[in-house]
Amino acid sequence: MLSSLAAVLFDGFAYGMLLFLLSVGLSVTLGMMNFVNLAHCSFAMVGGYTTVMLMNKLGWPFFATLPMAFVTAAVIAVVLERVLYRRLYRATDLDQCLLTIGIVFISVAAFAWFFTTEQQSTRIPEYLRATLQFMGVNFAVYRVFLVVVSLAVTGVLIYSLEYTRFGAQVRAAVDNQRMARGLGINVDRAFMITFALGGGLAGLGGALAIEIIGLDPSFALTYLVYVLIVVAVGGLGSIGGSFAAAVVLGISDMAGKYYFPWLGAFLIYLVMVGLLMWRPVGLFGKR
Amino acid sequence: MENGRPAASEYFQRQVRWHPLEYAVWLAALLPFVLTPSHLSLASQIAITALFALSLDLLVGYAGLVSLGHAAFFGMGAYTAGLIAKHYWGEPLSVLLISGIFAGVLGYAMSHVIVRFRHLALIMLTLGFGLLLHEAANSASALTGGADGLQGFKYTSVLGFKFDMYGRAAYAYSLAVLFICFLVARRIIHSPFGLALRGIRENAVRMPAIGAPSLSHLRKAYTLAAVVAGVAGALLTQTTSTVSLEVLSFGRSADVLVILILGGAGRLYGGILGAVIYMVARDQFSGINPQYWYFWIGLLLVAVVMFLPNGILGGLSALYKKTQ
C-alpha cells in the first residue's frame, strides 16, 4: 500500500515535471507579453516530430536531437511571431484566441498530412529504459532524468530572468514598454527572444514527452488544456507558480487515474474551476 | 441639445426599421423548399446552427464576453429534450420550452461566476465548465448513454406535421423557431438594454461609472444566450431523434465561434451567414477527411482575423460604404 502510494507520487511528480516543461514557455510568453497563445502545444509538437524524424530517419542519438528540437521549435516560434503574432499584441483576447486556434487547426492537419495520424515512437537509449530500486519502490530512470532536466530548466530560467542583464531588460519592457524604449532597450528584440525561448522550451518538452505520453497530430489540442490549466492555476509569468501547479496537476491526475478511474478527467477540471474561482489570477499570480 | 435629440431618436428608429434586404433574406430562406427539396435536412441543420451562432453572438458580439464553452448550453438543451422524450412525453413545443428553461437555469447559475472574470481566467473558466459538463455526461452513462449517446426515443410530429425522411416538417419547424428567436434577439439588441450591453463591450469600466449595473446586465445577457442555445440543442435532438456526446464537445464550441467570426460578430445576420457558408462548404467537401477539413478552417480563421476583423458581413458593409 505504502509503496504503491510512493510509486504513484513519484510517477505523478515526473508527469508533473513533463507538464511543467511543456507549459513553462507559455507561462513566460503569456505572463510577460500578455499574448493568449493557444498554439503553444503546436510548438511542442514541432519539437517532438523533429526528434522522431532525426532519430528514425537519420539515426541521430537521442541526446543530440534534444537541442535540435529546441532550436526548430524556437525558429518556428520566431517566424510566427514576426509574421502574425506581432500585429495582434494590442488586439483583443478573442482575436488572439482565434488566430492561435486557427494555427492549431492548421498544424494538426499539416502534421497529419505529412506524418499520418499514427502514434510515433522512438527508441531511447537502453540505460534510460532501466529501473532503479530504492526502498522497495521502482523508479524508472527516464522519469528520474525528466525530473533532473526540469529542475535544471527551472534553475536556468529563474536565473536568466531574475539575475541577468537580459532578464532585467525583459522585465522592464513588460512593466513599462514606453519607459523601457526611452531608456534605449530594444523591446522588440527582447520580446522576440522571449518568444523564441518559450517556443524552444515547448519543443524540448514535446521531444521529452514522446516516451511518456506518445506523439500524434492531435497532441496540439489534447495537451493544450493541461498546459492552460498549469499556466492559469500557477499564475501568469510566475515560474515557481507553474512549477507548483504542474506538480499538483501531475500528481492529482496520476492519483485520480490510479484510485478513481471512473471519474476520468472530471476531477482535474473540477479542481481547476474551483481554484480559478477562488483565485482568478492563479495561485502565485500578482496581477 | 435641441438639435441633437431628434437626430438621435431618428438614428435609433432607422436602426430598428426593417431594411428591404432583410425581407429578401427571410424570403430566400424559404427557397430550399422549392429549389433543393432533397437537401432539406441539411437546411434544417443550417437553421439550428444559425440559431446557436445567434445565441453566441449575444455574448461575444454584443456583450463582449469570450466563451470557449458555449456547447455546454447547447448540450444541456439537447440532453433535456432527449431525456424528456425517452422517459415522459414527446410533444415537441413544450419540450422545446422546457429545454430552453433548463439551459437558462444552468446559464443563470454559471453567470454569477463567469461575469466577474476577464481575460485568461474568463477563457479558462468557460473552457473548464464546458469540459466539466462533457466529462460529467460521459461518466453518467446510466442517464446519458455515455459515449454511445442517447437513443431509443422518437419525435414523430410537430403541430400535426409528421417528421418525414425528406425533412420538410423539420426544416419548417427549425426555420420558424430560428425566425421567432431572431425577432426576440433583434428586439433586445435595439432596446436600451441592448445598447447598454454594447456599452459594456466598448468600455467595461465606464459603464458602471455612468450608472449602468454592468454585472447584472451581463448576467441577463448570459442567461438569455443560454436559453437560446438550449433551444437550438433541443431542436437538433427533435429533428434527428438522437443525442450524441458530441453536442457537449469542445469541437462544437470552437465550430460555432468560427462560424460567428467568419460571418461577422456583433451583427444579427453574421451568425446566419456564417452558418450557411460553413455548413454548405462542409457538406460539399464531406468527401475529404475531417482532419484536412480543419486545415482550411484554420487558414480561414487566420485570414479573417488578419484581414477581415469584422467578418464577411463587416467586410461587405465596409465595401458598400466605400462605393457610396
Tell me whether residue A268 is in a domain.
yes
Spell out the residues 6+ positions from residue A153 whose beta carbon is closer than 8 angstroms to its own: A21, A24, A201, A204
CB-CB neighbors (< 8 A) of A265 in chain B: 131, 135
End-to-end, the C-alpha distance of chain A in Å comes to 42
Amino acid letter, residue B320: Y
- Of A112-116, B231-235, B242-246, B288-292, where does mean pLDDT reach its minimum? B288-292
Task: Give the torsion through C-alpha atoms of A232, A237, A240, A246, to 10 deg.
Answer: 30
Query: Å from B118 to nearest chain A CA?
Result: 9
Spell out the residues 6+ positions from residue A253 whose beta carbon is closer than 8 angstroms to its own: A12, A15, A265, A268
Range of the domain at A270: 2-278
- Comparison of pLDDT for B137 and A3, the residue scoring more: B137
pLDDT digits (tens, 9 = 90+) for B248-295: 988 899 889 989 998 988 888 999 999 999 998 888 877 777 777 888
**Residue A93: which of B123, B295, B297 has the nearest Cβ?**
B123
Q: What is the pLDDT of residue B6?
A: 64
Cell 430562406 -> residue: B29
Q: What is the pLDDT of residue B164?
A: 77
**Residue A276: which of B125, B131, B305 has the nearest Cβ?**
B125
Query: Å from A74 to nearest chain B CA?
Result: 21
DSSP state of A118: S
Q: Is residue A265's pLDDT more than 70?
A: yes
- DSSP string for residues in A237-270: T-HHHHHHHHHHHHHHHHHHHHH-GGGTTHHHHH
CB-CB neighbors (< 8 A) of B292 in chain A: 109, 112-113
Most confident of A275-279, B150-154, B298-302: B298-302
Tell me if ipTM is over 0.85: no
Q: What is the pLDDT of residue A287?
A: 53
Query: Å from B124 to nearest chain A CA?
Result: 7
Q: Is residue A286's pLDDT more than 70?
A: no
- Comparison of pLDDT for B194 and A59, the residue scoring more: B194
Q: Is residue B32's pLDDT more than 60?
A: yes
CB-CB neighbors (< 8 A) of A280 in chain B: 116-117, 121
Task: Assess contact for B54 and B181: CB atoms under 8 A.
Answer: yes
Q: Which of A126, A138, A151, A213 lies closest to A24, judged by CA?
A: A151
Task: Assess contact for A49 and A204: CB atoms under 8 A.
Answer: no
Task: Assess contact for A107 and A45: CB atoms under 8 A.
Answer: yes
Q: Is residue B3's pLDDT more than 60?
A: no
Inter-chain Cβ pairs, chain A and chain B, closer than 8 A:
116
pLDDT digits (tens, 9 = 90+) for B214-240: 889 999 999 999 999 999 999 999 998
Question: Minimal Cα distance from B298: which residue of A?
Answer: A102
Beta pairing partners, B158: B161
- What total number of domains does chain A contain? 1
The pLDDT of B161-190, averaged and rounded, is: 89
CB-CB neighbors (< 8 A) of B127 in chain A: 225, 228
Cell 522571449 -> residue: A194
**A110-128 burial, b for 16+ CB within 10 Å, e for fewer?**
bbbeebeeeebebebeeeb
Q: What is the pLDDT of residue B114?
A: 85
Cβ separation of B60 and A94 shorter than 8 Å?
Answer: yes
CB-CB neighbors (< 8 A) of B300 in chain A: 102
Q: What is the pLDDT of residue B101?
A: 96
Q: What is the pLDDT of residue B5?
A: 60
Helix (H) or strand (E) segment spanning residue A140: strand A137-140
Tell me whether residue A23 is in a domain.
yes
Q: What is the pLDDT of residue B1?
A: 44
Query: Å from A218 to nearest chain B CA?
Result: 10
Question: Minimal Cα distance from B115: which residue of A?
Answer: A277
Q: What is the pLDDT of residue B275?
A: 94
Band (A1; pLDDT cuts 50, 70, 90): low
**Residue B298: which of A102, A217, A277 has the nearest Cβ?**
A102
Query: Å from B295 to nearest chain A CA?
Result: 4
Q: Which of B24, B12, B13 lies closest to B272, judged by CA?
A: B24
Query: Å from A8 to nearest chain B CA?
Result: 23
CB-CB neighbors (< 8 A) of A221 in chain B: 250
Tell me whether residue A286 is in a domain.
no
End-to-end, the C-alpha distance of chain B in Å comes to 30
Percent of residues, chain A, with pLDDT higher than 90:
22
Instruction: Give the whole-angstrom CA distance, residue A184 versus residue A26.
Output: 27
Using CB atoms and an 8 Å cut-off, which of residues 201-260 of chain A contact chain B?
217, 221, 225, 228-229, 231-232, 236
**Residue A276: which of B124, B136, B257 has the nearest Cβ?**
B124
Cβ separation of B138 and A264 shorter than 8 Å?
Answer: yes
Question: Minimal Cα distance from A27: which residue of B?
Answer: B120
Q: Is A48 on the interface with B (CB under 8 A)?
A: no
Tell me whether residue A285 is in a domain.
no
Q: What is the pLDDT of residue B259?
A: 92
Instruction: Give the whole-angstrom CA distance, residue B249 versus residue B133.
Output: 9
Q: What is the pLDDT of residue B4?
A: 53
Band (A29; pLDDT cuts 50, 70, 90): confident
Instruction: Give the whole-angstrom CA distance, residue B235 versus residue B95.
Output: 10
pLDDT digits (tens, 9 = 90+) for A221-254: 888 888 888 888 888 777 888 888 899 888 888 8
Q: What is the pLDDT of residue A205?
A: 92
Q: What are phi and psi of A140, to 5 degrees?
A: -70, 130
**Could you tell me the pTM of the whole model?**
0.86
Q: Which of B62, B120, B123, B288 to mutate to test the interface with A (most CBs of A within 10 A)?
A: B120
Q: What is the pLDDT of residue B155?
A: 82
Provide the grid cell at A232.
Answer: 492559469
Instruction: Give the whole-angstrom CA distance, residue A155 versus residue B87.
Output: 59
CATH code at A237? 1.10.3470
Q: What is the pLDDT of residue B84?
A: 93
Cβ separation of A265 and B136 shorter than 8 Å?
Answer: no
Tell me whether residue A287 is in a domain.
no
Query: Å from B155 to nearest chain A CA?
Result: 32
- CATH top-level class for B30-288? mainly alpha
Provide the grid cell at A194.
Answer: 522571449
Tell me whether residue A218 is in a domain.
yes
Beta pairing partners, A132: A139
Instruction: Give the whole-angstrom CA distance, residue B221 versus residue B223.
Output: 6
**Residue B125: which of A94, A103, A273 has the nearest Cβ?**
A273
DSSP alpha helix (H) spans, B264-289: 270-284
The pLDDT of A61-79, averaged and rounded, is: 92
- Comparison of pLDDT for B51 and B121, the residue scoring more: B51
Task: Assess contact for A194 and A29: CB atoms under 8 A.
Answer: yes
Q: CA–CA distance from A45 to each of A106, A110, A149, B216, B251 (Å)? A: 13, 11, 19, 43, 20
Helix (H) or strand (E) segment spanning residue B158: strand B157-158
DSSP alpha helix (H) spans, chain A: 2-33, 40-58, 62-83, 93-115, 126-129, 141-162, 165-175, 177-182, 187-213, 219-234, 239-259, 266-278
Cβ separation of B306 and A99 shorter than 8 Å?
Answer: yes
Instruction: Give the whole-angstrom CA distance, residue B273 versus residue B61.
Output: 15
Q: Is A14 on the interface with B (CB under 8 A)?
A: no
